[in-house]
Structure 1
């Protein structure tokens, strides 16, 4: 009890120091300041240039021009007028009085600023736009900037991808706007919206308290005060009340010690979200999630991770909301999903629209893909009546390969998925594949040839041998190549039940059976109904067999896999036999899998 009493006294002294700082250190800071015709409220983390620096946070200085307009200066002397500040959502709304964002945003770089562009819809994602000076006035699908144009020429904006495919003989490129919201360029948005994650004052705002900075430059919540110091009687009252509050908090802490582990996990997640300044997904409250899903009306699926519901952001935009099961894991999968998917954008990777970390409630909001997973497509008993032909299946396989190649080579850091399987490949309205579920993924540098793992991760049947045992080599991006190879072979055989050719006492190990069919030059038309499709099925099978070679060094990279899938397939050579047995052998796949797990040595952490 003596130790507990000393702890309470220590907290009391810290709080006394805070109150003294509140009473004396905030002199000259007023949370009732207003500027402009609309009376824009100016308070922490913002400050007016006429106030002391301690009243605000670095990078949040505003200027009140003629008491009519509030001005914010961004890096490279970019100046905008402030229309609105939402302190709870931590969003500032800016505008250009000349309505010429194409001129104002030139050379803007927010990397040294505490602000980021607020991206909250598909129409407002960050893209690069190239500006061209054109003598022609008859250019389609482009936006004209009258503020930059003249009598004899027009200035147009193009998305860079469009420029590559368009020959503009009469145009000259002026400059490029980097990572700009599309709504500003195409005049959907009249205002430029920026948000900030640090300092995180939304908690204080929600409680109706004042957010301020103490002598250690730490963020604290305190009572809202006007200009001037607190009186001694007020300080004494606050100290006595706080002492009683500390006693009550200590009793509650003793009562709820069984929640300590979960609270620690929650604190780790909150720290991660605060430190992750440049994320693009939107953070939703749990109330927002309930509104988006219409009180969780339409369930799409359920698994050990939680439940997925269909939701709607607007009349045109649908989403899939995954409500995570907080009783499983320690929050690592949630951090993985947000930390990894929030920084990537590829046509073959599911887009993370937003997330929720509201207390112990966690949810992930993805774009909605109406055609479910590849697993249901290739395992359906009605597949042979499907509208998808083998050309489309080949396109799906190529799209998945391009998505994995992007994860391995297209990002600043290499992303290893570790759970590539048909269940984690979703299909959009045009049956374009998108890789999902990054809960088991790992980040590593592109120069790093191997990664360390404490335990094997992935789904049985798709896990590469080296993930279980270092005897086969180091764990690297080739583990994803192996999983993709198994997926390819499932696409090939998904339309035919292979156990019809064997007796009831055993099963054929499917990849080995495919290899023996090709090695003995037998007809692979068992999987197709049209002779013309046999060529595609054979190509997918050969590429899949190359990918499932037991030793990682014998497998191709995903870049090579993409090239093989894009080729005609006539020049593909058969890979070495990846199986221990020679010739067609009937084995029980379930027993083989268990034996593999039992015999292989589990690798240990290297780092």
Structure 2
């Protein structure tokens, strides 16, 4: 015996068949039941009508009738009561059709349509006690708590006002409504008239007020006498309606818009099914404009199709948005978890973990790099610090881990000190010593140097930077390759002592590794070593930092960018090329206000730089040798071969595709632009 789960698909199939074959069966009579017929006097009362004495589930409450002690049936409306003389019911059967150019072809299923006809009269007009009563009960088409009942008066009919005037009306539009010759109302100063409802507003006298809206079964009351009007009113009026599917349901759509939409969708499905059946039995003539459905059916089908398409795309967009949000949160949560795991493992780190509440400031911006912005801040103790807020766009956790893992183990006078860090969710910040004199590029590149330092101080700065880089390469248990030595990353304290900073691109390697592996080039164009771009020049090692240091030395000597298209002389556009030509010919560069000792210092810086920027990594000295060259006598230094001479072992493919010819102004910078780099 199949279990309940196996029977579920069968139930679903049966429900779908029921929707296509008889959609109204899924909705009809869910709220109101047919409790059979009842009699009140000679009037038969059945669904949708109901008596007030019947259970609430019977009939439709909008069609509620009363049965009084005299067995008279009353239709009670908001502004009056009407006696029901008779109700006749009729059930008609109709068939759906296809209309074609060959005629009318029946193809659909039969459906039923119920109608009724009610005869009612104003309760005041059939009173046994007073034959002078006026029709003071108003008939309304809108009943049932704002839900419109489909009452319709049988043609011919006219609606007229019963108006109460304080003065007699002489106009022929006003027909006397008092049927008694002596009326107590007239003696009291009230005059009643019948006035057609379509009477223009400007002809409605200000002394008159409306008492009731009365229906009469004539086309026009103009020219009728009072007795003729009352003769027609005594016959009553007839209400008729085609209930159709609306009354079969037994509820009001205006109160339940969802059910109205559901009915429309069900009939749209039924129409599509009927059209498909017609296509199977009548062939492709449907595409030859030989078949057309009623306009209402087309509108319904188009509306249903558009609704389904819009709902589908709306749900799709919601699901896509939820998926993207979930992926984004998972990625950031994964990065946050990676950072927390890293911090738990670094028990021996000196930096302190701060909260963002423990640091004030963040108003004065000191600078901005590829991994975030740097602000001036202050600890609670009053100590000034520089706070580097890592950019969320690149804060995948690796740059934070790289800096903390690298600088956290470094203690050197020429390397910036990491005081602490902040991690709160995806917000990450690094806290450094504050450097009052900013970075080196502000001094050597500024058009108007506010801070002028001597050539001796410039030489001391170059020595300090070299000592800091040499410590990174050989002073720790792991060699640290910076990969981004440039003036922007050299900070100066209050005494102009240089500090190597920004270790976002740094990598840690074993001291035994002479060659390291990198999956992609990293650095800044203009300072990046050629072996990071060209594969056949040599392996990547600490010599990459040596090359960057050589480019830094030349910019310190020239106090300008190595590549400058705005210099006066064309030959000075690329400074290393120009200055090598001067020194190789035994000429010095002209400098104002420089002593002989300072000239020797500058010459040592230039020659050392030439050795550092040799094309092959094997031709460059180590940082320990660089320090010796900077501190030795200038007479002992020899000018190296031209740094820009291409090595013979570069393949012809590299020469044609990546490396420009020797006579170009900037052989490295032009080719480096073609390579995708990680630029800071």
TM-score category (smaller protein): 0.5 to 0.7
In structure 2, stretches of 5+ residues that fail to align are: 1-321, 648-661
Q: Distance in 2 between matches of 1:528 and 1:435?
A: 29
Conserved? CA contact 2:572–2:578, under 8 Å: no
Spell out, residue by residue over 1:409-458, the C-alpha distance to the aligned partner (whole angstroms, 9 max, x if none).
00000000000000000000000000000010011111111110010000
Cα shift at 1:495: 6.2
Q: Do structure 1's residue 258 and structure 2's residue 321 form an aligned pair?
A: no
User: Aligned pair in 2 of structure 1 residues 494, 587: CA closer, same or farther (>3 Å)?
Assistant: farther
Q: Distance in 1 between matches of 2:421 and 2:591?
A: 45
Task: Look up the SS of the partner of 1:570 in the other structure.
Answer: helix
Q: Do structure 1's residue 313 and structure 2's residue 389 form an aligned pair?
A: no
Paired residues for 1:102-181 under 5 Å: none
Spell out, residue by residue over 1:71-115, the C-alpha distance to the aligned partner (whole angstroms, 9 max, x if none).
xxxxxxxxxxxxxxxxxxxxxxxxxxxxxxxxxxxxxxxxxxxxx
Paired residues for 1:338-357 under 5 Å: 338-357=404-423
Conserved? CA contact 1:469–1:601, under 8 Å: no
Cα shift at 1:507: 5.9
Task: Look up the SS of the partner of 2:516 in the other structure.
Answer: coil
Conserved? CA contact 1:348–1:400, under 8 Å: yes
User: Aligned pair in 2 of structure 1 residues 253, 567: CA closer, same or farther (>3 Å)?
Assistant: same
Task: Look up the SS of the partner of 2:419 in the other structure.
Answer: strand
User: Aligned pair in 2 of structure 1 residues 386, 570: CA closer, same or farther (>3 Å)?
Assistant: farther
Aligned residue in 1 for 2:337: 267
Cα shift at 1:569: 2.0
Paired residues for 1:520-531 under 5 Å: 520-526=585-591, 529-531=594-596
Spell out, residue by residue over 1:325-378, the C-alpha distance to the aligned partner (whole angstroms, 9 max, x if none).
122152111100001101111000000000011111100000001000001111
Task: Look up the SS of the partner of 2:363 in the other structure.
Answer: coil
Aligned residue in 1 for 2:366: 300
Task: Look up the SS of the partner of 1:462 in the other structure.
Answer: coil
Q: Distance in 2 between matches of 1:572 and 1:426?
A: 29
Conserved? CA contact 1:495–1:527, under 8 Å: no
Q: Do structure 1's residue 502 and structure 2's residue 539 form an aligned pair?
A: no
Q: Distance in 1 between matches of 2:530 and 2:342?
A: 33
Query: What is the number of residues matched between the two proteins?
Result: 342
TM-score of the pair, normalised by structure 2: 0.47
Aligned residue in 2 for 1:369: 435
Conserved? CA contact 1:369–1:428, under 8 Å: yes
Cα shift at 1:529: 4.1
Conserved? CA contact 2:567–2:573, under 8 Å: no
Cα shift at 1:587: 4.4
Aligned residue in 1 for 2:525: 460
Aligned residue in 1 for 2:445: 379
TM-score of the pair, normalised by structure 1: 0.53
Spell out, residue by residue over 1:462-482, the C-alpha distance to the aligned partner (whole angstroms, 9 max, x if none).
010111122111100000000
Aligned residue in 2 for 1:475: 540
Aligned residue in 2 for 1:489: 554
Spell out, residue by residue over 1:374-404, the C-alpha distance to the aligned partner (whole angstroms, 9 max, x if none).
0111111234x74411111110000000000
Aligned residue in 2 for 1:550: 615
Q: Distance in 2 between matches of 1:455 and 1:254?
A: 28
Cα shift at 1:528: 6.1
Conserved? CA contact 1:379–1:495, under 8 Å: yes
Aligned residue in 1 for 2:346: 276
Point out which structure has higher relative CO (alpha carbons under 8 A, 6+ apart).
Answer: 1
Task: Look up the SS of the partner of 2:634 in the other structure.
Answer: coil
Picking from 598, 601, 622, the partner of 1:536 is 601
Aligned residue in 2 for 1:77: none
Paired residues for 1:420-459 under 5 Å: 420-459=485-524
Spell out, residue by residue over 1:276-311, the C-alpha distance to the aligned partner (whole angstroms, 9 max, x if none).
1111100112322xxx223x2222223342221111
Conserved? CA contact 2:349–2:409, under 8 Å: yes
User: Aligned pair in 2 of structure 1 residues 528, 543: CA closer, same or farther (>3 Å)?
Assistant: farther
Conserved? CA contact 2:484–2:548, under 8 Å: yes
Paired residues for 1:13-412 under 5 Å: 256-288=326-358, 292-294=359-361, 296-314=362-380, 317-383=383-449, 386-412=451-477
User: Aligned pair in 2 of structure 1 residues 495, 466: CA closer, same or farther (>3 Å)?
Assistant: closer
Q: Do structure 1's residue 595 and structure 2's residue 671 form an aligned pair?
A: yes
Conserved? CA contact 2:550–2:612, under 8 Å: yes
User: Aligned pair in 2 of structure 1 residues 316, 257: CA closer, same or farther (>3 Å)?
Assistant: closer
Q: Distance in 2 between matches of 1:387 and 1:547?
A: 27
Q: Distance in 2 between matches of 1:562 and 1:549?
A: 17
